[in-house]
Chains A and B, each alone.
Chain A
Amino acid sequence: MGIEVVVEGLTKSFGKQNIWQDVSLTLPAGEVSVMLGPSGTGKTVFLKSIIGLLKPEQGRVLINGVDMVNSPERDIMETRKLFGLMFQDGALFGSMSLFDNIAFPLREHTRKKESEIRRIVMERIDVVGLLGAEGKLPGEISGGMRKRAGLARALVLDPQIILCDEPDSGLDPVRTAYLSQLLIDLNAQIDATMLIVTHNLDIAATVPDNMGMLFCRNLVTFGPREVLLTSDTPVVSQFLAGRREGPIGMSEEKDAATLAAEQLADTVPLPTGPRTVVPQLEPSPGMPVRQGALRRRERVMSMMGQLPEAARTAILDSYAPAAGGARA
């Protein structure tokens, strides 16, 4: 079972430029969470802060009692072995073949025999669909393949927490769909806590249990996916609909004057009414039931009272068929 990640009051700046401030959220153990946000809102910085590569000025990131911000380097190094991080462009070692890249964590951290390593690595290569390419160098394969190889490397130590930095960027829609399914299947198999940072709406709508959104140096919201998907907060609804009208501008945020003008003009009638929530992806047939989903169900049911009306109906709708015993 995965590990809970607790983020408390995290604030990060580069020099005078504040990236985000006072971000607090909890990634529930074994569940899949997505962090949305327009480009340049510090999603990747957030990911790197969770794993301790960047040090926020304030706040804590607690994993198994270790604070990834302030604990001694030795503890942080030890805790990082629980992580698998998939970098935006794979971050493979350019001098090693794909096989050696994927075997790297095993060779560094375990005393497994070479035959054992070979078995595990080939298994992971098969999972991400790279069989036959294991002898190639990262420079010789396409961006999408590098990404998948990066995922395989992140998975090889059976991590408890998987972080994915824009798993979709540079992938075509079909491959993105396969990758989404792969992530859900993985979650079903190893029950790891997952955080996916993306601005891909398909992934956002179908993969996660929980969703959050970063905008304007703040965490707009974080909670069960239905809350965000049905939210009528302008930032969220604009982002999810991919519209130009709304508070998000070309350079992150619009100023008040542009906003007012836009509101007056009001050329396009905006779609109103509650948005429909696309059902979440289920693990492929033959996969075990996602333990995280079962836990989430209990958790969400117990917090029903605090959720907005729209989210509540969406949640009840989504659980209705499952409750009827449609799935084993």
Chain B
Amino acid sequence: MTAPMPVRPPEPPEKPPPATSGKAPGQARPSRLLAPLRETGKLFALAVAVARAIFRRPFQVREFIEQFWFVASVTILPAALVSIPFGAVIALQVGSLTQQLGAQSFTGGASVLAVIQQASPLIVALLISGAAGSAICADLGSRKIREELDAMEVMGVSPIQRLVVPRVLATMLVAVLLNGLISVVGTLGGYFFNVIMQDGTPGAYLASFSALAQLPDLYISEFKALIFGFIAGIVAAHRGLNPRGGPKGVGDAVNQSVVITFMLLFFVNMVLTAIYLQIVPAKGS
């Protein structure tokens, strides 16, 4: 051992020299204040990547059907069970209000509109993000930490195209169909409670319904559900693809995914409702 013992080599420069490429300074000093913006940007980038991958062949039919079946199976029953009391509550509330105002004959129209336009897409949002989104996020997250996604990428298969696209499309389709289901069940529940419990007349209920409601109400409802399904799928995938450190990170990611989706969906719902009320004239006006 005559060779001199090596001493710890000089520390690499802390910061890359300023002569390097243009994006280096941005990487070198990430500001904590901008972290939420960065995450938002990544979320949008994922949304764009998914939207583009939807049209890339080969389409994963099998995965899509499996995911569709899975998402549908975890959401249908709770959706139906939630929508009956929800329709009932709205019918009762609107019913008692209209009774005080002396506009009892409009109960039907009012409660049906409330159910179709607001309650139904929001129930969809709750179930899609709570039941489907959390499951998707947990699934992708655990695959990520087990390096399955890396393995897939190494085999030249894009996890976005192979896994995320079928899941997002499945949540979108299930959301649209679920929205129809909830609208029907909620309306029936409202009708039942109004006619049976509050002694409303079936004729007035249906007449006010057809007097106030119009087809665009249904369109916007389904459109909302479609958008909600997309957002829930994207947020779940985004959180699932980027869990922070180990199994605990996956749990946190699922939690975040549900919370973020809720906030986003309620906000988007507000925006869509405001736009709709502006551009679509109310019936008869």
Contacts and interface: CB of A to CB of B under 8 A. Distances in A.
Interface stretch (B3-11, B101-109, B121-129, B233-241): B3-11
B148 A77 contact: no
A233 B6 CA distance: 9
A118 interface: no
Interface string A250-290: 00010110011001000000101000000000000000000
10 contacts: A21-B12, A53-B154, A91-B147, A91-B148, A94-B142, A105-B155, A108-B155, A216-B6, A217-B9, A255-B8
Interface string B1-24: 101011111001010100010001
A99 interface: no
B9 A234 contact: no
B202 to A, nearest CB: 51
Given A16-B14, A87-B151, A93-B148, A81 B156 contact: yes
A53 B155 contact: no
Contacts of A93: 143, 148, 151-152
Given A16-B14, A53-B150, A57-B16, A256 B8 contact: yes
A216 B150 contact: no
A270 B2 CA distance: 11
A104 B148 contact: no
A36 interface: no
A263 B5 contact: yes
B7 A216 contact: no
Interface string A77-107: 1101101010101011110000000001100
A85 B152 CA distance: 10
A74 to B, nearest CB: 10
Given A253-B8, A259-B7, A109 B156 contact: yes
A182 B233 CA distance: 44
A192 B128 CA distance: 47
A58 B21 CA distance: 10
Contacts of A16: 14
A64 to B, nearest CB: 14
A2 interface: no
B156 A78 contact: yes
A327 B82 CA distance: 78
Interface in A135-177: 153, 157
How many chain B residues sit at the interface, stated as a range, is 20 to 34
B210 interface: no
Interface in B162-193: 162
A319 to B, nearest CB: 28
A235 interface: yes
A94 B5 contact: no
A77 B158 contact: yes
Contacts of A232: 1, 3
A94 B157 contact: no
B47 to A, nearest CB: 17
B155 A80 contact: yes
B153 interface: yes
B146 A91 contact: yes
A161 to B, nearest CB: 11
Interface in A212-255: 216-218, 232-235, 246-247, 253, 255
B5 A247 contact: yes
Nearest to A270: B1
A121 interface: no
User: Most chain-A Cβ atoms within 10 A of its Cβ — which of B1, B9, B27, B146?
Assistant: B1
A85 B154 contact: yes
Given A57-B24, A81-B156, 18 more contacts: A48-B150, A51-B154, A53-B150, A57-B27, A78-B156, A80-B155, A91-B151, A92-B148, A92-B151, A94-B142, A94-B148, A108-B157, A108-B162, A153-B151, A157-B155, A232-B1, A233-B3, A247-B5
Given A51-B154, A87-B151, A93-B148, A216 B5 contact: no
Contact of B154 (A80, A246, A247): A80
